[in-house]
Amino acid sequence: MVTNTSKGGVSTIGMGKPRRFDPNDKKYIPALLITPVQILLCVMLIFPFILEFVISLTEWQPIYGDFWTAFGSVFTQKINQGINYNYLVTEEPRYLQALGRTVIMSVISLCLEFLIGLGLASLFLKKFWGKRIWFTALLTPMMIMPVVVGYTWFMLFQYNGPINQIFGWIAFSPVNLQWLNDGTLAFIAVIVTEVWHWTPLFFLIMLSGLNAVPENPIRAATVLGASNFKIFWTIILPNMRAVIIIAFVIRGMEVVKLFDEIYLLTRGGPGTSTETISLYLYKLAFEDFRLAYAGSAAFIVLVITVVLINMMLKPIRYQLVEGR
Amino acid sequence: MAKIKLELVNLSKEFGKLTAVDDVNIAIEESETMALLGPSGCGKSTILNMIVGLEAPTSGDILIDGKSVLDVPPGERNIGLVFQDYAVFTHMTVRNNLAYGLKIRKLAQPEIEREIAKVAEFLSITHQLDRKPDELGASELQRVAIGRTLVTSPEILLLDEPLSNLEAAMRNQMRRELRRIQADTGQTIIYVTHDQIEALSLAHRIAVMDFGSLQQYDTAHNVYQYPKNRFVGSFLGNPPMNFLKGKLSESGGRRAVTSGDSTIPLPAGNLGSDVSAGSDVVVGVRPESLSLASADDPGSFSVPILAIEPQGPETVVTATFGDSSLKVIVPTGTEATEGDSIALVPKSDLVALFDAESGVRLLDSGDRR
Amino acid sequence: MPERKFTPFNFIALIAGLLFAVFPILWMVSTSFKLRSEWVTSPPTWVSSAPTVDNYLTILAPQVLLERRGGTKQVGDENFGGSKDDAAGGAIADLLNRSAWPGIKGSIIISLSATILSIVVGLMAAISISRYRFGGNFTPFFILAGRMFPPIAIAIPFVIMFGPKVFDITDTYFGLIVAYAAVTVPFSTWMLKSFVDDLPHEIEEAAMMDGYSRWRAHFTVTVPLIKGGIIATTLFIFILNWSEFLFALILTYTDVQTIPVTLSKYFSATEGTLYGVQAALAMVSIVPLVIVGFFIQKHLVRGLTLGAIKR
């Protein structure tokens, strides 16, 4: 077999000459191309996680010494064999609570974003003036940095802030809700902030899904006598199934990690009422400095999220790899 | 006198400056099968949408059983529509597709089952009731689409280009199926199509349309053999009608049309309007209406041969008539060579005379057998 | 047919949506021009009665303010409060420390570099995955795994890794750049992959038949043809990097700052949260985002859904 190399020479394989590493050879190119990414990820992902796992097996804390001590401590100190893990799951209620809170907050946010996004997208199917402008305006929340979002809503939710004022106008009597100082209200405030921030994404995705529903089945259903609602429920929504799953999975992946906004709004408080898993880990690692403990908590979270998300991605695996 | 089921009265539709449908009047009888035939853009799809109720006319009326249905929403007009692409609900099984209309009408479950079974049996899709549409082929999908409307017992059935999505072999089969459905259900059926073969093979009467207006509405036979204008003549028939341009001449009580060296004698008969000798006219005569003759036969004429194309059992001979060309179908084996002349005689009642400018038919004799 | 008519109810819904979407931003804009005394009032001040650019000056050009006050001895000012008990030096030092330029500088350097790194690495990976299906299904999803867990989980080992005695890259530009690149590479890879997917592979084959080597074909034919996609992805990743908060918070102390971190530090013991100044910095920092976002509107869905949905 004879192949041309980039230098114009001819490399002949199977003719006794030693095989040179030819970067042009089809076999090598993909591997070469993917190497930078692999290196980056190995150094910045795999290695840290191994490190985290190792540390989590110990009770190392930064005051004990440096990294090598930490590593070594697995062998020199008593190996806790997962005592951290044990403790976390069985005795530390805060950990499980944080997980639970994360799930509840995420589910509620996603559902709200879905409903509002879908509603807005349906509106956009109709004819009205200035669609482009409305469209851009409705997308703006998504563009704002999470930190800024957090600050803005922090201001708005103040005891003497505009939200209370507006509610006061609607209720015809002064409203003085302590949004950020009351457990339940703070939880709601966080959800409102997240929903405000990311509904535009659902709006965009739903709009694209709605536009992709073929027109003729809708007309066929109309001729068969279906009402608008029935058409929506039996024809349009089922056709959007894939798109809806994508939206939920992709945004779901991000919403469980929510940190910036919550940190700025409430720091996880009052008490622990808005302490999601991200905030709990932050507290453990950077306020209590219990790195090993935090490491084990983080590792469990890692395993859970990777497994769960892979499961969630399964239905849309094909779409993701091939493109819709 | 048959009862009129559906009537379009002065129906018009405008989209801004564009007139899609222009003052169309059609009266369709009960249990009749008719076709709305015309090229793309002629307005037939717009009329379809208006009959069904998906679009509202700009002016005019649509009457079903004598009553206007303009205020009646699409689902309540008792009309069934089968789309060109079938528009089967892909996320439902065949059974649920068929059941769709019935569930809307709030029928009881056992009754729904019965109706579905009946229609499935009628269309031979019983064994596929629990399959999903992506497992079915084109003609099966079409039957599901037809079944979906039949199950609601509509009084009028509309089919949009029913045969166009099928392969040739399937078409014959579906043609037979459609004729069977026509015969068995006795419904009023309207086909909308651009394919004249489809129209001729399926419909009793054909409404030919062009640029939004109705050109001719008559039985298939009449529309084919006695076209009212040049457009209708040209649209139906394959190979298409010959159009011979020339000047009208009169000598000795006999009229003829001459162009260059060629003359074709016209059969005796009245002219529908004032046409004087010397005016420009167009003779329309179908290739199959011309037969071989010898030069001295009465009513015959000779034309020089331009080309000879054998096509199996028949041969198509192209000849020239002045500036126009003329095609004739002769049995293969006929003695003829290019450059020769060939003598032809037309079937006297199948010759049409059209005004050169408007295309309207002039010769009135012999129409409507 | 779903109603095409636009009812008054629809109009109300649309207005409500619009107001909800835009109100917080407008509030922020307004706050950035408020006087110190108007930051926290009861009832809240919606629009300043005497709009001022002092907040902006604080973050961008504090010297101007100092000069305006005529020197460094004065304490107490409607915008820069501090009680009279505050040491004069304290208030001034505070003032100068609030300049946002270190943060702005840091954000620009880090965002740009990290974006470039992410795009270059991601582009190569995208070609590898799209054209050669390298690693089948595993590799692409492995790359995606980087997005699956909370950043805080990886921040913990980062702190150790970045710390002294290991790589010692805390509080350096390099450290953050690499960290950002690692976290955004899943997005850049997948988004670019979807653009490469859109390009028919016959194009490269044609180039190769004309004598180009594979490398050359990829980089002189493929890459220019997806220029638009690369630009969109670059802008998208830039937005992500510009907005990043957690890593910046944890991995920097004094030498390096980014805008989000600077924002979070506008809090002083004596004066509480400096809303006006924060608002001003927020406005400054979101301007590039909104502009960029406007330009890549079309591609936002593609990026945010990892290429699954193309508008």
The chains found to touch A (3+ Cβ pairs under 8 angstroms) are B, C
Query: Which of B75, B90, B91 lies at the smallest CB-CB distance from A224?
Result: B75
What is the pLDDT averaged over residues C266-283? 75
Give the span between the Cα atoms of A188 and C172, in whole angstroms.
38
In this prediction, what percent of chain B has a pLDDT beyond 70?
95
What's the rounded mean pLDDT across residues C130-143?
78
C91-98 mean pLDDT: 55
pLDDT band at B145 (very low <50, low <70, confident <90, very high): very high
Q: What is the mean pLDDT of chain A?
A: 79
Q: Does B56 touch chain A (CB under 8 A)?
A: no
Helix axes C173-198, C297-304, angle to 10 degrees: 100
Q: Kindly state the average pLDDT of the residues B41-69.
A: 89
Residue type, A30: P
Q: How would residue A182 be classed by pLDDT, with cut points 50, 70 and 90?
A: confident
pLDDT in tens, B74-131: 888 889 999 988 899 988 899 999 999 888 888 888 989 998 998 888 888 888 888 8
Q: Give the predicted TM-score (pTM) of the model.
A: 0.81
Q: Count A/C contacts: CB-CB distance under 8 Å.
A: 326
| C239 closest CA partner among A202, A145, A199 | A145
Task: List chain A residues with CB under 8 Å of B100.
Answer: 221, 224, 226, 234
Question: Each residue of A61-104: pLDDT tens digit?
Answer: 665 555 555 555 555 555 555 566 666 666 778 888 888 999 99
- Closest C-alpha among B129, B112, B98, C2 to residue A237: C2
Asked if the model's pLDDT at residue B11 lies above 80, the reply is: yes
Interface check B70 vs A, CB under 8 A: no
Give yes or no for B83 touching A (CB within 8 A).
yes
Q: Would you call B91 and A214 a contact, using CB atoms and an 8 Å cutoff? A: no
Quick check: C220 and C204 in contact, CB under 8 A?
A: no
Residue reference for tokens 């490469």 = C196
Distances (CA, A) of A146 to A260, A262, C298: 6, 10, 22
Asked if the Cβ–Cβ distance from A155 to C27 is below 8 Å, we say yes
State mean pLDDT over A142-151.
90
- Tell me the pLDDT tens digit for each residue of A235-289: 999 989 888 988 898 898 889 889 988 988 888 778 888 889 899 888 888 888 7
Residue B318, classified by CB atoms within 10 Å of its CB into exposed (0-12), middle (13-18) or buried (19+), is middle
Residue A1 confidence class, pLDDT cut points 50, 70, 90:
very low
**Structure letter (DSSP) for residue B266:** P
Nearest chain B Cα to A228, which residue? B75
Query: Could you please report the per-residue DSSP string of B44-75?
Result: HHHHHHHHHTSS--SEEEEEETTEE-TTS-GG
The residue-averaged pLDDT of A156-179 equals 82
Q: In chain A, where do the E strands start and end?
A: 2-4, 10-12
Q: Helix or strand or coil: residue B237?
A: coil
Q: Given CB atoms, is A229 within the 8 Å cutoff of chain B?
A: no
- Assigned token pair, C55: 């907040």
Whole-number pLDDT of residue A197:
94
Cis omega (within 30 of 0) for bond into A162: no
Contact A277, C150 (CB under 8 A): yes
- Which chains does chain B touch, 3 or more C-beta pairs < 8 A? A
State residue A315's pLDDT score.
Answer: 73
Q: What kind of architecture, by CATH, is found in domain B4-234?
A: 3-Layer(aba) Sandwich (3.40)
Q: C34 pLDDT exceeds 80?
A: yes
- Percent of chain A clearing pLDDT 90 (strictly above): 16
User: Which residue from A216, A223, A239 is facing B52, i.e. has the nearest CB?
Assistant: A223
Which amino acid would we find at residue B279?
Answer: S
Beta-carbon separation of B74 and A239 below 8 A: no
Which CATH superfamily does the domain covering C101-304 fall into? MetI-like (1.10.3720.10)
pLDDT band (50, 70, 90) for residue B312? confident
Instruction: Choose the CATH number for B239-355 among 2.60.120.380, 3.90.1150.10, 2.40.50.140, 3.40.190.10.
Output: 2.40.50.140
Q: Where are the alpha helices (DSSP H) in chain C?
A: 8-32, 36-39, 54-60, 62-68, 88-97, 101-132, 138-145, 151-162, 173-198, 202-209, 214-216, 223-225, 227-243, 246-251, 259-264, 275-295, 297-304
A201: contact with C, CB 8 A cutoff:
yes
Across the interface, whether the CB atoms of B100 and A223 are under 8 A apart is answered no
> A92 in contact with C at a CB cutoff of 8 Å?
no
Any chain A CB within 8 A of the CB of B74?
yes
Name the residue with higher pLDDT: C174 or A61.
Answer: C174
> Does residue B271 surpass a pLDDT of 80?
no
Is residue B150 pLDDT above 70, yes or no? yes
B90 vs A contacts (CB less than 8 Å):
217, 239
Q: Which residues 116-135 of A are in CB contact (within 8 Å) with C?
A: 116, 119-120, 122-123, 125-128, 134
Asked if C300 lies within 8 A of A204 by C-beta distance, the reply is yes
pLDDT of res. C87? 39
Residue A121 lies in a domain: yes
Least confident of A167-181, B118-132, C280-294: A167-181
- Look up the domain containing A104 and give its range: 92-289
More confident residue, C243 or B297: C243
Instruction: Identify whether the C-beta of residue C215 lies closer than 8 Å to the C-beta of residue A6.
Output: yes
**Confidence band for C82, pLDDT divided at 50, 70 and 90:** very low
Q: What residues does each domain of chain B span?
A: 4-234, 239-355
Distance from C-alpha of A272 to C-alpha of B184, rounded to nearest angstrom: 75
Residues of C in contact with A294 (CB under 8 A): 156
Cβ within 8 Å, pair A44-C182: yes
Q: Do A224 and B101 make contact, defined as CB atoms within 8 angstroms?
A: yes
Which residues fall within 8 angstroms of residue B179, CB to CB, at 6 or more apart? B202
A281 with C120: Cβ contact below 8 A: no
Interior/surface letters B24-36, b for 16+ CB within 10 angstroms, e for the rest: bebebbebbbbbb
Q: Read off the DSSP letter of residue B306.
A: E
For the cut 50, the answer to whether the pLDDT of residue B215 exceeds it is: yes
Chain B hits for A239, CB-CB cut-off 8 Å, are 90-91
Every domain of chain C and the residues it spans: 8-97, 101-304
**What crossing angle do the helices spanning C275-295 and A131-143 adopt, rounded to 10°?**
130
Q: Does A30 touch chain C (CB under 8 A)?
A: yes
Q: Is a pLDDT exceeding 90 seen at residue C86?
A: no
Q: How far is CA B30 from each of CA B2, B10, B77, rounded to the nearest angstrom?
A: 7, 20, 15
- The answer to whether residues C290 and C174 touch, using CB atoms and an 8 Å cutoff, is no
Q: What are phi and psi of B163, to 5 degrees?
A: -100, -5
CB B285 within 8 A of CB B266: no
> Which tokens is B105 given?
């009408």
pLDDT at C88 over 50: no
Question: Are residues A324 and C308, on separate chains, in Cβ contact within 8 Å?
Answer: yes
